[in-house]
Amino acid sequence: MGLKRLSSLTKDRSCKLIFEAMKFDGTAQRGIFKDFQVRGEDENFKLRVGDAEPGNPMYMMKNHDNAQFSTFDRDNDKWSADCSGYHGKTGWWYHDGCHNHNPNGIIAEKDFPNKDACYNYCSSWTKQDKRVCWRATRLSFICA
């Protein structure tokens, strides 16, 4: 779709972000976030994401609120190095510690017994402060 189109569809509307992921064991995860927007190019496509709806296993997405979109050739994150380059040259709204969610990360070939190894791949933190590797992700949105 592209960031310009995503911004034009969300920046002045009331939208919800729907974040779906599939773990290696086949378990599906789904999170819905209120007040989703992607601001314009003049703000480096800043992400706006509100509170999660109840029962959301992906609550850490809120930590990416106000992050600017970064790629390997446009380092807009607040980390002293380059989050995009470090995580496989993928684009994402990295924050100062890179990420809590990395749905655009490289998909691992298999799950890891040591979940901390998932950090460099398509992954997320859980409420139990453990990392989860994903084998597939999908982000979508609906607007009122």
pLDDT, the chain, mean? 84
Q: Which domains does the chain have, with CATH numbers?
A: 3-143 (3.90.215.10)
Q: What does pTM read for this prediction? A: 0.83
Enumerate the β-bridge partners of residue 38. Answer: 47
Residue 102 has pLDDT above 70, yes or no: yes
Q: Which of 107, 140, 116 is nearest to 32 (CA)?
A: 140
Dihedral of CA atoms 136, 65, 90, 31 in degrees, nearest 10, equals 0
Choice between 62 and 127, residue whose per-residue pLDDT is larger: 62
Polymer length of the chain: 144
21-52 pLDDT tens trace: 898 889 898 989 999 999 999 999 999 999 88
Could you give the angle at the alpha carbon of 50 between the alpha carbons of 142 and 77, nearest 5°?
A: 105
